[in-house]
Amino acid sequence: MVFQKTVFVVNPHAGNGTTGREWPRISKMAGDLLGSFETCMTEEPGDATRMTRERLLQGADRIICVGGDGTLNEVVNGFFDESGPIRKDALLGFLPNGTGCDFCRTMPIPSGIEPSLRTIREGYVRTIDLGRIRFRNHQGGASTRYFHNIASFGLGGEVVDRVNRTSKVCGPFITFIWGTIVTLFTYEKKGIRLKVDDANEWTVDVLNIAIANGRYHGGGMLVAPDALTDDGLFHVTVIGAMNLPLVFRHLPKLYTGKIKLISQVSMQTGKKVTASSEQRVLLDIDGEQPGTLPATLEIVPGALKMIIGQAG
């Protein structure tokens, strides 16, 4: 495939600033492997979405995101406006170089810069689903956002809120496990009203609920072992409220794929989920914390074309 215009959207702050420091080396390698391209450096939240949208409207047909899952989420949202996709034929590539790159644990996208660039050059494309969530933002208004990996609410939102306010110099696993453990000591169970597709609404006291397109979040927690990014379904994991000793007893199962063995965990699939609560329940959307419940989540099948490895 011949590309008319390639744009790199780069978050220099990703990976605790390593992306910015390494960009001259990455840029030279990208030029050698992919040819000419335009670079857009983000400065603040929202820049990646705006820059992606602007470049697509100007004719870009290949957007390469450089950063973590949060940056990738912003870039994904730049592929859409209020009426839907801006350019259905445009491709998204990803150079993972951030604190959280959980999506690469689901998709065959290599973690190293050079292997990722070679994957982009090879140009194997998979059409993936996205989630679309309508929720209450922190200003009290309504917002809509797409997500490529996982949206969760309960403990997950509070962990992400804590993690994003601290240094991430220790890497994703230590950063998220520390944030999880510290948050557990102050977390109060949430009573959430939940409805999946046309089933009856029910109320459940939860530790966390994950609405998954991908399989992993939180620095390697395998919260949705059966999730696929192209099956047209959410995989919904409900982790019921547990006392602290029981939580710590079961915590390793979140990393070993044995979450199904926990009696307080239930799983189902669906295309639409609605959730609300009388309490303040924070959201985690691809590692970002943009608001609270209530929320409505819908799967968008075949929403985006993404460059991945041939193994997928």
What are the tens digits of pLDDT across the range 232-268?
999 999 999 999 899 889 988 988 989 999 999 999 9
Torsion-angle region of 295 (φ positive above 0: left; ψ -120 to 50: alpha; else: beta): beta
Q: Cα–chain-centroid distance for residue 79?
A: 15
Q: What residue ranges in 68-157 does DSSP mark as E strands?
A: 80-81, 84-85, 91-96, 125-137, 142-147, 150-154
Contacts of 139 (CB under 8 A, 6+ apart): none
**Spatial separation of the C-alpha atoms in residues 87 and 104, rounded to whole Å:** 24
In sequence order, which residues have a C-beta less than 8 Å from that of residue 257 and are 6 or more positions away? 222, 225
131-301 fold = Tumour Suppressor Smad4 (2.60.200)
Q: Dump pLDDT digits (tens) for 19-41.
A: 999 999 999 999 999 999 999 99
Can you name the CATH fold of 6-123?
A: Rossmann fold (3.40.50)
Reported as a single tens digit per residue, the pLDDT across 47-72 is: 999 999 999 999 999 999 999 898 99
- The overall longest dimension of the chain from CA atoms, in Å, is 57
The CA-CA-CA angle for residues 23, 105, 68, to 5°, reads 30
The ranges assigned to domains in the chain are: 6-123, 131-301
Q: Are strands 80-81 and 84-85 parallel, antiparallel or unpaired?
A: antiparallel
